Amino acid sequence: MDASANDGPIAPDGTPWWELTVQPGTRNKTFGQERRLAAWLWFNKEIGDIFTMNELRDALGSDIVGKSEHLNRRLRTLRSVGWIIPSYKDDGSLSSDEYRLQEKGARYWLDEDRQAHKRFAPSARVRRDVIERDGGRCVVCGTAARESYPGEPDSKARLTIGHRVPQERLRSRGAADNIDNWRTECARCNEPVRAEVPDPQQYDEVLAQVRRLNRVNKQTLLSWLQRAERTRSELDRVYDLARILTHKEQEDLIGYLKTSTGGSS
């Protein structure tokens, strides 16, 4: 189909794009909510307009009423393909339920635009390789899987992988994405909008700081880099292994340690 035929707000079947539930030309393939949301914003909001979470719920249907995080994930998808949509966290003039449409990105409801911005999805093997390469810890904050965040004993980290440089930024530079651009991140560090995160420091910038270190610290840094992890004790390593046991297995291990040490703490 000629892409120009899809420039308007109405899909080929006569339905507004944001009201579709089935992808045009198919019988049962779901027309995703990110696509509906992009179309609704494109045709119903102008640059600079403010919209609310309630408006998004009305636009996408009653099936997601109250699910703010669900909608936030949809907005993050659009931000990853060029849309700039600040929230109250970015703009103090907005209330907690408001967003501003600052820039329209890819026309995500159109197949040709969506495919042009298709993100590379790493395989399970790539995920394992990246996490193993990074020592099983978030490279941003250093937290390991199921480890508590400092000062938050009830908040456990979950590991995923993310980009050093966002894919859209790489694409705009004509650069390819590869495993060197992936790194281990906990879900919390992976949460910020990637398009708004600056590029990591380059070699010359890091080298300038390394040169300021004394000889002992340089030797320590060399050891860490060669090991691909900060030096940790054997006890640290065993703790990492024990931490990812099931809850029942951890209880059994705690019982063993109490018995073998004669302790109760």
* pLDDT, tens digit (0-9, with 9 covering 90-100), for 144-189: 888 888 777 788 888 988 887 776 677 666 666 778 888 899 888 8
* 42, part of any domain: yes
pLDDT at 117: 65
Whether residues 71 and 176 fall in one domain: no
pLDDT band at residue 265 under the 50/70/90 scheme: low
Whether residues 61 and 80 fall in one domain: yes
Range of the domain at 106: 3-116
Q: What is the pLDDT of residues 54-76, one digit of tens each?
A: 888 887 776 555 556 677 778 88
Whether residues 153 and 97 fall in one domain: no
* 218, part of any domain: no
The residue among 71, 97, 116 that closes a domain is: 116
| Sign of the torsion angle spanned by Cα atoms 84, 85, 90, 94 | positive
pLDDT band at residue 120 under the 50/70/90 scheme: low
pLDDT band at residue 44 under the 50/70/90 scheme: very high
Whether residues 92 and 153 fall in one domain: no
Whether residues 111 and 131 fall in one domain: no
Q: Is the pLDDT of residue 6 over 80?
A: no
Q: Across residues 130-156, what is the average pLDDT? A: 84
* 161, part of any domain: yes
Whether residues 13 and 75 fall in one domain: yes
Helix (H, G, I), strand (E, B) or coil at 223: helix
* 190, part of any domain: yes
* 27, part of any domain: yes
The residue among 199, 220, 250 that closes a domain is: 199
Q: Across residues 117-139, what is the average pLDDT? A: 81
Whether residues 39 and 105 fall in one domain: yes
* 141, part of any domain: yes
Closest CA to 94 of 58, 52, 56, 57: 52
Whether residues 69 and 148 fall in one domain: no
Q: Across residues 89-110, what is the average pLDDT? A: 87
Whether residues 60 and 72 fall in one domain: yes
Please state the pTM of the whole predicted model: 0.47
Q: How many domains does the chain have?
A: 2
* 219, part of any domain: no
pLDDT at 3: 43
Whether residues 18 and 81 fall in one domain: yes
Whether residues 13 and 85 fall in one domain: yes
Helix axes 53-60 and 68-79, enclosed angle (nearest 10) = 90
Q: Is the pLDDT of residue 47 over 90?
A: yes
Between CA 148 and CA 199 the distance in angstroms is 28
Measured at the CA of 97, the angle between CA 191 and CA 91, to 5 degrees, comes to 70
The residue among 168, 199, 230 that closes a domain is: 199
The larger pLDDT score, comparing residue 79 to residue 201, is at: 79
pLDDT at 40: 92
Among 72-76, 118-122, 231-235, top mean pLDDT goes to: 72-76
Whether residues 61 and 86 fall in one domain: yes
Q: Across residues 77-94, what is the average pLDDT? A: 84
* 241, part of any domain: no
Percentage helix, strand, coil for the chain under 3-state DSSP, each rounded to 5 = 45, 10, 45
Q: Across residues 222-247, what is the average pLDDT? A: 77
pLDDT band at residue 43 under the 50/70/90 scheme: very high
